[in-house]
Structures are given as structure tokens and as C-alpha cells.
């Protein structure tokens, strides 16, 4: 959608755990072809929001992808709508090759019996190339460095060409060079038409890679807008000083 319509609409979303309000009436929109940063101090509800959008946490309020409600739906249903995610902890099958790790995540279209494996192989190789790790295809999952595993896990997330990619701290634990590479990869995915919601706490990285930012603090949305504008907002500065 060249006009940049809205892809994801979060309206009045709340979630409590015992007495803790992890999300308190949070609303925002993510436009098509946008990299939207979700930031805020520790415990502000970022992961809970990612989990709500991917179906692993129930909420009150509404979350819609286009015109389809996805709140309180099963993770595989949401995945079927074209939403993919990576988890904070990387999980690859250690004894499978990298290529097989990505192939098992591929959903081959029905009615392609003869060429199903070839189809998955091609899709997996393409996803690995997008992440700059096609050269690792025949290594074992268990033989990769932490950073390489992260990129392979991202290849797994994009192998079905999702419309929306949910990333919870994708740069956590990565070294400087790889962090810059990751930022470039996200820009490249966006250029291919993917929309991205990314949790990140490194302000500099957020400023470099995000088109817009939503800021949470103690479950409340305290700001949203262009990165430079949001970072100068008194409410945001205060929230980060109080961390």
C-alpha cells in the first residue's frame, strides 16, 4: 500500500498480572511499510504488548490487523494472518542444519506435493540471504555463535513473508558491528514491503532505524511520534531518569 494505510491498530488494550497493570488502556497504530519502535524503561509492558499481538497473552481492548481482529486469538491463527515474531531467547534445533532449521518453519502451499521440499528449500535459502547468512546453510544449528543464531532465527521468522514482523529486543546480546548490520537488515526488509514493530532500549539505535516510536512507562503510553521529537518530550526524559 503506497499510501501507507494502517496495518495494525491497537485500541484501549489493558492487561493485569495479579495487582500489576502491565498495560493500561494503550492505543497506537502501525502504518504499512513502517518500522515502529516500542520503547520504555524495564517493566513498562513492551514484551506484554508484543505477546498480545502474537497471541501468547490475552488482553482486554482490541488489536486489529487491517480489518481482522487478532486479540485473544491463538498464535497459529495470528501467524496465518501474516504476523511473525522472534522470541527474546534464541531457540534453534542444534542437530539440524541451519537450512533445515529454516525449512521446518516454512509452510509450503497445498497442492505442491512433488516439489514441496524444493519449494521450502528455495524459500529458506532466500530468507537466509536476506539475513546475510546464506553461507551458514549447511552448518549445524548448535555450531553457531549467538549472533549468527539470532540472524537465523530471524530468517525463520521471515520465511513465510509475513506482513508484520514483531521483534522483542532483537539486538540484545549482539556486538556493535552486528547491531549496525541488524539495523540495515530491518531497513532492507521494510523496503521489501514488510512492516515491523520492534522493542529496543538503545536510544541511538531507535533513532537510527525507526520511523516512529511509541513510549510506554509502567503500562501507560506516555508519548508517540517521530523519534527525535519523542526523545525530547519531558515525560519521556523523566521516565528514563527515574529508571
What residues numbered 46-85 form the site for ligand ADP, per CB under 6 A?
46-48
Taking CB under 6 A as the rule, does residue 20 contact ligand ADP?
A: yes
Segment 141 to 160, residues that bind ligand ADP, using CB under 6 A: none
DSSP state of 115: G
Q: Using CB distances below 5 to 8 A depending on partner kind, what does residue 42 bind out of ligand ADP, Mg ion, none?
A: ligand ADP
221 binding ligand ADP? (CB under 6 A): no
33 binds, among Mg ion, ligand ADP, none (CB under 5 to 8 A by kind): none
* Whether 62 contacts 206, CB under 8 Å: no
Among 42, 89, 95, 113, binds ligand ADP (CB under 6 A): 42
Residue 52 CB, shortest distance to Mg ion, in Å, is 13
Question: Which of residues 47 and 149 has its CB atom nearest to Mg ion in the complex?
Answer: 47
Q: Which of 147, 169, 149 is nearest to 93 (CA)?
A: 149
Closest approach of ligand ADP to the CB of residue 46, in Å: 3
Kind of pairing, strands 220-225 and 212-217? antiparallel
CA distance 61 to 13: 4
Distance CA 76, CA 25 (A): 26
Among 26, 37, 40, 47, binds Mg ion (CB under 5 A): 47
Nearest alpha-carbon partner for 14 in 58, 54, 59, 65 = 59
Amino acid at each position: 500500500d503506497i499510501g501507507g494505510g494502517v496495518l495494525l491498530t491497537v485500541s484501549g488494550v489493558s492487561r493485569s498480572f495479579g495487582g500489576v497493570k502491565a498495560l493500561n488502556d494503550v492505543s497506537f497504530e502501525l502504518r504499512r511499510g513502517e518500522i515502529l519502535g516500542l520503547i520504555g524503561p524495564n517493566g513498562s509492558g513492551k514484551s506484554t504488548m508484543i505477546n498480545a499481538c502474537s497471541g501468547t497473552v490475552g488482553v482486554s481492548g482490541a488489536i486489529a490487523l487491517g480489518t481482522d481482529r487478532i486479540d485473544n486469538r491463538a498464535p497459529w491463527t495470528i501467524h496465518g494472518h501474516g504476523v511473525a515474531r522472534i522470541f527474546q531467547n534464541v531457540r534453534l534445533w542444534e542437530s539440524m542444519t541451519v537450512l533445515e532449521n529454516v525449512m521446518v518453519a516454512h509452510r509450503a502451499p497445498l497442492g505442491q506435493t512433488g516439489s514441496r521440499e524444493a519449494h521450502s528449500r528455495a524459500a529458506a535459502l532466500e530468507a537466509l540471504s536476506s539475513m546475510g547468512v546464506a553461507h551458514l546453510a549447511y552448518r549445524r544449528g548448535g555450531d553457531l555463535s549467538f549472533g549468527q543464531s539470532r540472524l537465523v532465527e530471524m530468517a525463520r521468522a521471515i520465511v513465510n513473508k509475513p506482513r508484520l514482523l514483531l521483534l522483542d529486543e532483537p539486538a540484545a546480546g549482539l556486538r556493535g558491528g552486528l547491531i549496525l548490520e541488524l539495523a540495515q537488515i530491518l531497513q532492507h526488509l521494510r523496503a521489501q514491503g514488510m512492516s515491523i514493530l520492534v522493542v529496543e532500549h538503545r536510544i541511538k539505535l531507535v533513532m537510527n532505524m525507526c520511523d516512529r516510536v511509541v513510549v510506554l512507562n509502567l503500562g501507560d503510553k506516555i508519548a508517540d511520534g517521530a523519534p527525535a521529537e519523542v526523545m525530547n518530550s519531558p515525560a519521556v526524559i523523566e521516565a528514563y531518569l527515574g529508571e
